Chain A
């Protein structure tokens, strides 16, 4: 195994992470396959935590599988499903099993998922979760009680560069920085000019920024995302480019676009790395990396 994620971030290398999603059920073969496919190609694998409020195999289980296969996992942790005792306990378990990177998220609303009548906990929010990790590192729990044994996590959070309005979101970004976030993954970005403006702002803070790259698989998907997904803006020229792809070629075009964007980000050192989200198309990640010249 190579360098740990935190060391890589600190080394100044252009870091590449990718996202994998645990399955709905106990058939883990596809997840194992994705892990084996990507472990050596990216610097860390980020495992989603009941993404979109859909009950699945847990992120912690996925991270253990990454670890067992020699990879570097990033544990996604949302505040939606667990109270503070459960969150802290999972962090203790994670650390003892060598999972040292945590991405702290609020979590999607319960109502968007497949357990619409379940209670969203949100006892902590993402800022408070970041601070809770600091407490653990000081050998204290949130109840103020002493803990035996150390923890040391590399803490991450997310930010939405294209948020509208941007002021309250950027304000929260700053609160996350205050709370000890060391790295940020961004919501998907497609407009490099807008992203450059965001980076001009974000460079004022001592944190590493990984640009979010969501693979576009069709013009329809791109149009849907720009119209419906909060904080995502896909410029018309990219939608047109996908439309102009020959029949059956939209995915390849999407891979080309993602690769081109990563290459541009890296060439101009616009940010510290990328986080690739090839939702349901994890097989395409190696092609994206190749298209990016990585």
Chain B
């Protein structure tokens, strides 16, 4: 599982940095490195480009996993360079950006757009597998999620736009319900195609979503 990111247009990065002249650049050694959006090379390339645009780079680092709590250690290690900057540009997903925001008073700015959580179906092919809807129906749909695999997120069967097993919005994509139908057929569970799914609850966990572990749930880990 990887968080899929894409670098913002350079103009937008510059626009965000408009108020500052000294920048510290952060990459991430996990998802953004695999995706080549925030690894050592991409950090180095962006540094050079920013320098070319007249910005002073006080330093850079690639944090092993920008979203986890070890990020605090990386912040300490780079304290001088970070303190010397008036903008922290983060080449990680939005979780990494927000993790850094916990530790720093300075402006923390995203260099990437966070697109989706991707499951690597086969090497180099990431698909959005879960929309975290809070009401898993995979048990009725042969383990294929129509909430994410159907363009419209339908529950009760294909729309009229499907053709030859493909989706109308992208001929390269399979129609989720053709996949579900075929799989259920193989498993001799076709009766599930007639199962009526009521409208989804959009408020299973109302936003902003938060989960707080109880003290005793915390204790089993220490």
Interface, chain A (partner B; CB < 8 A) = 80, 84, 106-109, 111-112, 120, 122-128, 131-132, 142, 158, 160, 163-165, 167-169, 171-172, 174-175, 178-179, 187, 230-231
For A172, what are the chain B residues with a Cβ–Cβ distance below 8 Å?
A: 156-158, 177
| Cβ–Cβ contact A187 & B160, under 8 A | yes
Given A106-B152, A165-B178, A230-B162, A171 contacting B199 (CB threshold 8 A): no
A-B contact pairs, 5 of them (CB 8 A): A112-B169, A158-B160, A165-B164, A169-B162, A171-B157
| Cβ–Cβ contact A168 & B177, under 8 A | yes
B193: CB under 8 A from chain A? yes
Q: Give the distance in Å from the alpha carbon of A107 to the alpha carbon of B198 in the complex.
A: 18
**Residues of chain B from 102 to 129 with CB closer than 8 A to chain A in the complex:** none
Expressed in whole angstroms, the minimum distance between the Cβ of A108 and any Cβ of chain B is 7
Expressed in whole angstroms, the minimum distance between the Cβ of A178 and any Cβ of chain B is 7
Residue in B closest to A142 when the chains form the complex, CB atoms? B199
> CB < 8 Å: which of B156, B159, B178, B181 contacts A175?
B156
Given A111-B169, A171-B193, A231 contacting B199 (CB threshold 8 A): no
The interface centre, meaning the residue of B158, B159, B162, B168 with most chain A CB atoms within 10 A of its CB, is B159
| Cβ–Cβ contact A160 & B160, under 8 A | yes
B155: CB under 8 A from chain A? yes
B12: CB under 8 A from chain A? no
| Cβ–Cβ contact B155 & A125, under 8 A | yes
Q: Please count the residue pairs between chain A and chain B whose beta carbons lie under 8 angstroms apart in the complex.
A: 93
Q: Give the distance in Å from the alpha carbon of A142 to the alpha carbon of B198 in the complex.
A: 10
Residue in A closest to B162 when the chains form the complex, CB atoms? A230
Closest A-B pairs by Cβ, 9 of them:
A172-B157, A230-B163, A127-B156, A168-B181, A106-B159, A122-B152, A125-B154, A171-B193, A168-B177
> CB < 8 Å: which of A109, A164, A169, A175 contacts B152?
A109
Q: Give the distance in Å from the alpha carbon of A106 to the alpha carbon of B153 in the complex.
A: 11
| Cβ–Cβ contact B194 & A178, under 8 A | yes
| Cβ–Cβ contact A128 & B160, under 8 A | no
> CB < 8 Å: which of A125, A164, A169 contacts B156?
A125
Expressed in whole angstroms, the minimum distance between the Cβ of A82 and any Cβ of chain B is 13
B151: CB under 8 A from chain A? yes
For A131, what are the chain B residues with a Cβ–Cβ distance below 8 Å?
A: 196, 198
B165: CB under 8 A from chain A? yes
Residue in A closest to B177 when the chains form the complex, CB atoms? A168
| Cβ–Cβ contact B156 & A128, under 8 A | yes
For B154, what are the chain A residues with a Cβ–Cβ distance below 8 Å?
A: 106, 122, 125
Expressed in whole angstroms, the minimum distance between the Cβ of B36 and any Cβ of chain A is 27
Q: Give the distance in Å from the alpha carbon of A158 to the alpha carbon of B158 in the complex.
A: 12
Given A165-B181, A167-B181, A174-B194, A106 contacting B202 (CB threshold 8 A): no
Given A109-B152, A165-B178, A168-B193, A124 contacting B199 (CB threshold 8 A): yes
| Cβ–Cβ contact A175 & B196, under 8 A | yes
